[in-house]
């Protein structure tokens, strides 16, 4: 039942994402790829673990995260070919960063903006150090942190999610899920995290 609810929320997120994309500059639209929705799945699933219903705040945050994923993907794809990056994609990545932030203004949740901003900064720091391939771990971390915040997760569970966020991308589902009661959402998240990290 709960997985059906989660999948229905993901479908709604996908359709609201399509509406947002339709409002983008055509040049940006051309460069987008269909999201895998794994980041959204992690965000929404984490919020559900906290017992929250999935509302516009969670869906807007998911859309923001997917915009950020598109932007960082474009950046990464071109970091090894700086001429191509500069010519075709730099302004689009800037535009998508701004759209990602703007997507969550209406939900009045500055911490969500903080998590998105820190994913941009962490990726930039990695790239400055010569690490180009691992931006998704910062997005996964943001998905977990945002889901935890929106789900109102507190105490040891919040610590477990924070630990998972720190180790995101390296956790292979990780031990963090042990902090939660067994159940379909935990299994869903375990699987989503494993595949989203890959």
Partner 1 sequence: MRLSGRQRPVSAGIIKRLDAFEPHFKTVIRPALGQISEPALKAIEAGGKRLRPALVMISADVGGALDDPRVMQACGAVELVHLASLVHDDVLDASNTRRGVSTINAEYGQRRAVIIGDYLFGLAFDLLAKGNNNALIGPLAKASVELSRGELRQRQTLRRLDQTVDDYLEKTYAKTAALFVAACMMGARAAGLGPKEEGLLEDYAGSLGMAFQIYDDILDFTGTEGELGKPVGSDLREGTVTLPIIYTLLSGARQSVQAALAEPSAEAVARAVADVQDCGAIDEAKKVARGYVERAQGAVVGLPANQAQRDMISLGNFVIDRYH
Should residue 90 be labelled a site residue for partner 1 when binding is judged by CB under 8 A? yes
Q: Which is nearer to partner 1, 123 or 192 (CB)?
A: 123
Question: Whose CA is closest to 95, among 148, 151, 32, 52?
Answer: 32
Q: Count Cα atoms within 13 angstroms, Cβ side, for 41.
A: 20
Should residue 142 be labelled a site residue for partner 1 when binding is judged by CB under 8 A? no
Should residue 82 be labelled a site residue for partner 1 when binding is judged by CB under 8 A? yes
Cβ-contact 132, 85 below 8 angstroms: no
Should residue 34 be labelled a site residue for partner 1 when binding is judged by CB under 8 A? no
Should residue 6 be labelled a site residue for partner 1 when binding is judged by CB under 8 A? no
Binding mask 111-130 toward partner 1 (x if CB under 8 A, else -) reads: x-xx-xxxxxx-xxx-xxx-
Should residue 133 be labelled a site residue for partner 1 when binding is judged by CB under 8 A? no
Question: Whose CA is closest to 8, among 42, 41, 57?
Answer: 41
Should residue 29 be labelled a site residue for partner 1 when binding is judged by CB under 8 A? no
At 167, list the tokens. 């180790």
Number of residues engaging partner 1 in binding (CB under 8 A) = 38
Residue with tokens 């997917």, as numbered in its chain: 66
Question: Whose CA is closest to 141, among 86, 76, 198, 193?
Answer: 193
Should residue 27 be labelled a site residue for partner 1 when binding is judged by CB under 8 A? yes
Interatomic CA distance for residues 115 and 90, integer angstroms:
22
Interface residues with partner 1 (CB under 8 A) are 25, 27-28, 75, 79, 82, 85-86, 90-95, 97-99, 101-102, 105, 108-111, 113-114, 116-121, 123-125, 127-129
């Amino acid at each position: 039942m709960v997985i059906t609810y989660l999948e229905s929320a993901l479908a709604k997120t996908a359709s609201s994402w399509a509406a947002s994309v339709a409002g983008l500059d055509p040049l940006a639209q051309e460069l987008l790829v269909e999201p895998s929705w794994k980041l959204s799945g992690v965000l929404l699933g984490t919020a559900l673990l906290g017992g929250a219903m999935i509302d516009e705040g969670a869906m807007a945050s998911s859309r923001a995260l997917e915009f950020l994923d598109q932007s960082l993907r474009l950046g990464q794809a071109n970091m090894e070919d700086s001429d191509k990056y500069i010519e075709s994609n730099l302004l689009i990545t800037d535009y998508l960063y701004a759209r990602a932030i703007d997507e969550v203004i209406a939900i009045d949740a500055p911490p969500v903006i903080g998590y998105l901003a820190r994913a941009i900064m962490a990726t930039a720091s990695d790239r400055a150090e010569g690490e180009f391939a691992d931006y998704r771990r910062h997005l996964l971390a943001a998905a977990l942190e945002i889901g935890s915040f929106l789900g109102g997760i507190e105490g040891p569970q919040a610590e477990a999610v924070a630990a998972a966020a720190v180790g995101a991308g390296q956790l292979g589902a990780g031990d963090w899920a042990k902090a939660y009661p067994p159940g379909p959402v935990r299994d869903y998240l375990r699987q989503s995290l494993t595949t989203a990290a890959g």
